[in-house]
Amino acid sequence: MKDHIVISRATIDRLPVYFRCLRHIQEEGAEIISSEDLGRRVGVTPEQIRKDLASFGEFGKKGVGYYVRDLIRNIGEILGLHRNWNIAIAGVGHLGWALANYRNFISLGFNLKALFDVDPMKIGQIVNGVEVFSCEKIPQIVDEYDIHIAIITVPASNAQSIANVLVECGVKGIWNFAPIRLKVPDDVRLVSEDLSVGLSSISYYLSREYKL
């Protein structure tokens, strides 16, 4: 894999999509995939796919295509999925609970180590084998379990204060589901999830295809 190269954010954001699609393709039993077929499935031009993957190294074979298993392993390494990150979820409401049971995280090598909530009724509960701790214990637990990434699913009103605590404790990655724009230091990687994006893209296509 090439190193010390500048890669556009847009390319980085497409990699997990390729990774997800390639895993589907592998489940279907295919061993080789062309940039044309992969492009059709993820909605990206073959040129874009070749460009994206070429920026990391040589994964394809001219006239043959990409070896699915090799490409999955390579993209997995590029995405750092082999690092087995320890993650925690702050906010055990319905979304937090659903994410705690989301099997794809484990299949990607993420280790859910702890859950945090302020509700005394939830503290001490075990969700999918993981304990719910009081938010007051965040410093201790983050240190003890070496938490690298935190998922924030608390209400918008508490999201920034929880993020501040997590960052102070050394968490370097924040995945925010609260509908609010968080502020974090430059050395913390923040990704904000807007669940309405998927719905918006469906809306786009339907509004073109159906003049209801």
Which residues are at the interface with a second copy (CB under 8 A)?
8-10, 12-17, 19-20, 24, 27, 43-45, 48, 78-81, 83, 85, 87, 93-95, 97-99, 101-105, 107-108, 110, 148-149, 151, 172-175, 179, 181, 187, 189, 191, 193-210, 212
Annotated binding site: 91-96
Q: How far is the CB of 96 from a second copy (least distance, A)?
A: 8
For residue 208, give the amino acid letter.
R
Q: How far is the CB of 94 from a second copy (least distance, A)?
A: 4
CB nearer a second copy, residue 62 or residue 187: 187
CB of 147 to a second copy, least distance (A): 12
Q: Which amino acid belongs to residue 95? A: L
Count the residues in the chain. 212
Quick count: other Cβ atoms within 10 Å of Cβ 167?
19
Binding residues for NAD(+): 91-96
Query: Smallest distance, Å, CB 73 to a second copy?
Result: 14
Instruction: Pick the closer one to a second copy by CB: 45 or 61.
Output: 45
Which lies closer to a second copy via its Cβ, residue 67 or residue 175?
Answer: 175
Asked if residues 99 and 151 have their Cβ atoms less than 8 Å apart, the reply is yes
CB 8 within 8 A of CB 15: no
Q: How far is the CB of 70 from a second copy (least distance, A)?
A: 18
| Token output for 81 | 């999925």
Q: Which two tokens stand for residue 119?
A: 């509700």
Q: What is the DSSP string of 119-149?
A: -TTTTT-EETTEEEEEGGGHHHHHHHTT--E
The bridge status of strand 149-152 relative to strand 86-90 is parallel
Given the complex with a second copy, which of 44 and 123 has the nearer CB atom? 44
Type of residue at 127? V
